[in-house]
Amino acid sequence: MSYRAAKPLLFRLPAETAHTATKRLLRAARGTPIEEALTARYRVEQPRLHTNVFGLDFSNPVGVAAGFDKNAEIPGILGALGFGHVEVGAVTAEGQPGNQRPRLFRLPEDRALVNRMGFNNAGADVVGPRLADTDVSVPLGVNIGKSKTTPLDEAPEDYLYSYERTAAGGDYFVVNVSSPNTPGLRDLQNREHLEAILGRLRDAGAAPLLVKLSPDLTESAVEDALAVVDDLKLDGVIATNTTVERPDTLRNHNRVEAGGLSGAPIEERATETVRFVAERTDVPVIGVGGVSDAHGAYAKIRAGASLVQLYTALVYEGPALARDINEGLLDLLDRDGFDSVEDAVGADL
């Protein structure tokens, strides 16, 4: 069955139920001829898409954002769907159920999602060994969040615990201090807290180490965060997470739900944040927010993103999305006379 045919059936289910069902189907394909068939159908092998970022080789710049595969159950299958990297998590030191359901909402007219998941995951003691046993052909990022019950002043040790348990299986590590769905978490984006958390992880040898920022930060707060990035010699920045703001253009009734908004309504804002960050730091930027086609991915690349990630668009576009974006990127590189995707990074700065 094609995704076009399956989508109306999936959309009859609650959003989180549909997501769980999709993951189960993908998990069932692991290690079977279906996985090989997916690879043959969806992976775009073209040297012009290759890029090296913070010392890692990526076959293409399009990745899966954290949140889609929280417990590292299907990173290999996501690679088979044509993605050039997969970021799992957010992983917390303690396993936790997250917020009460319903906590994930579609806004179809707006091509958006609202989520207030609350870092639901099995915990670092479960995810860490699973990562260590994972055989995946693309770089694997680990997004680390704070456990809900951990006081803010104990956050550095909480993040350190999750890093140490997942270190053997990750290729890069992301400190998530920007989710709107864990009480107090965004307070950790101020300079003092960031220095404590990131410094503790740096001292423990975490590398490559990145920080994920909120689109709701003021420009001065972003500049403060980037000063920490530079002072601690971090390896990269992810811009951005979801937003708690609601544009006036939203039409679906689920716009009133509390949580982080993702998808098409935040695309332009996320791209501008990528540009703002890239203009102020020399470290690589991963652009996230509203990417759903080659033009959107290319806009973030030209704005300074070395890599892009997506999640919401998978819900609306289906499994061919990475292939379609990568093929479209090749056309756009041809149009603008770039020899490779690396040459296009920051072209508009």
Please list the active-site residues. Answer: 179
Q: Is residue 52 part of an annotated ligand binding site?
A: no
Strands (E), 170-235: 172-176, 209-213
Pick the closest to residue 125 from 148, 155, 156, 92 (CA basis).
Answer: 92
Q: Is residue 337 part of an annotated ligand binding site?
A: no
Structure tokens at 26: 């993908």
Q: Is residue 122 part of an annotated ligand binding site?
A: no
Which residues, 6+ apart, have CB-to-CB distance to 33 below 8 Å? none
Query: Residue 85: helix, strand or coil by DSSP?
Result: strand
Q: Which position has the token pair 């990127």?
A: 329
Q: Is residue 233 part of an annotated ligand binding site?
A: no
Q: What's the start-to-end Cα distance of the chain, in Å?
A: 44
Q: Is residue 1 part of an annotated ligand binding site?
A: no
Q: Is residue 70 part of an annotated ligand binding site?
A: yes
Cβ neighbour number for residue 164 with a 10 Å cutoff: 16
Q: Which position has the token pair 């046993």?
A: 133
Q: Is residue 67 part of an annotated ligand binding site?
A: yes
Q: Residue 256: is it exposed, middle or buried by C-beta count within 10 angstroms (0-12/13-18/19+)?
A: exposed
Q: Is residue 66 part of an annotated ligand binding site?
A: yes
Q: Is residue 242 part of an annotated ligand binding site?
A: yes
Q: Is residue 281 part of an annotated ligand binding site?
A: no
Q: Is residue 118 part of an annotated ligand binding site?
A: yes
> Residue 66 and residue 86: Cα distance in Å, rounded?
8
Q: Residue 145: is it exposed, middle or buried by C-beta count within 10 angstroms (0-12/13-18/19+)?
A: buried
The CA-CA-CA angle for residues 173, 318, 132, to 5°, reads 30
Contact between 93 and 147 under an 8 Å Cβ cutoff? The reply is yes
Q: Is residue 143 part of an annotated ligand binding site?
A: yes
The DSSP call for residue 81 is T
Q: Is residue 90 part of an annotated ligand binding site?
A: yes
The three-state (H, E, C) secondary structure of 171-182, written as one string: CEEEEECCCCCC
Q: Is residue 68 part of an annotated ligand binding site?
A: yes
Structure tokens at 154: 């104990």
Q: Is residue 150 part of an annotated ligand binding site?
A: no
Q: Is residue 304 part of an annotated ligand binding site?
A: no
Question: How much of the chain is helix, strand and coil, in % rounded to 5?
Answer: 45, 15, 40
The three-state (H, E, C) secondary structure of 59-72, written as one string: CCCEEECCCCCCCC
Q: Is residue 166 part of an annotated ligand binding site?
A: no
Binding residues for FMN: 66-70, 90, 143, 176, 212, 240, 263, 290, 311-312
* Residues of the binding site for substrate: 70, 115-119, 176, 181, 241-242
> From the annotation, which residues make up the binding site?
66-70, 90, 115-119, 143, 176, 181, 212, 240-242, 263, 290, 311-312
